[in-house]
Structure 1
Amino acid sequence: MVRTYVKKVLAQIQTGNYADASKALVTAQPVLDGMARKGIITKAKAGRTMSRLNASVKALQA
């Protein structure tokens, strides 16, 4: 489930559309947090993934 949402964000980043990429990121963040809470992934991995995705989305805006 985590990989699916991350792939959706990365696909929107590849298209270069900031609005769609930011919407996909907003959808993916609670999923990553939930998986970290359940222990499926570590908190560090969730934070690192969100940080990298957020930086990529912000780079589209610039």
Structure 2
Amino acid sequence: RLLVQIDEKGVLRVESLISSTHPDFVPPSVEAAEKTPYTVPTYDGKPVKTQFVLPVRFTLND
């Protein structure tokens, strides 16, 4: 789980790591979060900055 912030332009920044099942999952989690497009958060129709916990799940494929 990552603590992230999305600014008024829709740019995500990872603030901190909250938890991880294994340290090897942290770099790909951050990379995936930063590459994902996000919608600009708004309040009363105006762009705002927001912060939230982003869960990241990994699935192993055969």
Q: More strand by proportion, 1 or 2?
A: 2
Asked if these proteins are the same fold (TM beyond 0.5), I'd say no
TM-score, normalised relative to structure 2: 0.30
Quick check: which has more Rg, 1 or 2? 2
Q: More helix by proportion, 1 or 2?
A: 1
